């Protein structure tokens, strides 16, 4: 498995925001979102360390931290990802996978991690790659994250939420594209359209540390 970085920190977003977590970042992604803040991890020349699922499990267990986030890139593209999920869950670790919405979740629902799945909105340039069938596979512990950079994005997010009744299916978050939209604009949109059970999240790690700092 191609690991570009692994570190311990706090979860900067999602349902366990503020909790300790181990992060495993894998190389490679099948999308190129306009706002991607980890594009470096997807470049062909990006250095990585080849690790087995056993290597990663041993690292996670040695930290003594119960939350692990598998991210990227797109972690579901890693060939041994199902084996890694199996061994982490068997070890009693809470596994979250950050996935970009363009990889089918069908093969990952039997032995289930928690999914934090993006829906790529118009400003990302990747909306056409979304696998809409994934919406039907989400359960109450999962999250759909809408990274929003414009009013058009917010309108489309609201449409998707209502079409798939997402607030009755899973957690739903709006997250601003850093530097493209002000959080108050999102709040005002939520108020105007009475978007109950949708949460605004600000990435904590970009407030605590420099927004461009890695490994935090």
Q: Sketch out the chain's domains with CATH numbers.
A: 2-208 (3.20.20.70)
Global pTM?
0.92
DSSP letter, residue 139:
-
pLDDT digits (tens, 9 = 90+) for 108-128: 998 999 999 999 999 999 999
pLDDT of residue 208: 76
CB atoms under 10 Å from CB of 46, counted, come to 16
Burial grade of 38 (CB within 10 A; 0-12, 13-18, 19 or more): middle
Identify the sign of the CA torsion 44, 102, 56, 83.
Answer: negative
Strand partners, 25: 5, 71
Whole-number percent of the chain with pLDDT over 70: 96
Assess whether pLDDT exceeds 80 at residue 169.
yes
DSSP letter, residue 181:
S
pLDDT band for position 204 (cuts 50, 70, 90): confident
Measured in degrees and rounded to the nearest 5, phi and psi for residue 152 equal -60, -40
| C-alpha closest to that of 89 among 112, 109, 72, 105 | 112
Measured in degrees and rounded to the nearest 5, phi and psi for residue 25 equal -105, 125
- Tokens encoding 181: 């939209």
């Amino acid at each position: 498995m191609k690991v570009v970085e692994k570190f311990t920190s706090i979860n900067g977003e999602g349902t366990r925001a503020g909790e300790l977590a181990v992060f495993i970042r894998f190389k490679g992604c099948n999308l190129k979102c306009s706002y991607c803040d980890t594009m470096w991890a997807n470049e062909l020349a990006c250095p990585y360390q080849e690790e087995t699922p056993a290597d990663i499990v041993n690292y996670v267990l040695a930290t003594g931290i119960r939350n692990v986030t598998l991210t990227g890139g797109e972690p579901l593209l890693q060939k041994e990802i199902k084996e890694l999920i199996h061994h982490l869950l068997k070890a009693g670790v809470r596994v979250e996978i950050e996935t970009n919405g363009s990889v089918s979740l069908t093969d990952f629902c039997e032995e289930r991690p928690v999914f934090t799945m993006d829906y790529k909105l118009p400003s990302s340039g990747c909306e056409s790659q979304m696998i809409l069938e994934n919406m039907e596979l989400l359960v109450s512990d999962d999250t759909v994250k809408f990274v929003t950079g414009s009013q058009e994005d917010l309108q489309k997010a609201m449409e998707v939420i209502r079409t798939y009744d997402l607030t009755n299916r899973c957690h739903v978050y709006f997250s601003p594209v850093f530097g493209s939209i002000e959080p108050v604009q999102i709040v005002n949109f939520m108020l105007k359209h009475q978007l109950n059970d949708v949460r605004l999240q600000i990435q904590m790690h970009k407030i605590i540390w420099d927004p461009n700092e890695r490994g935090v």
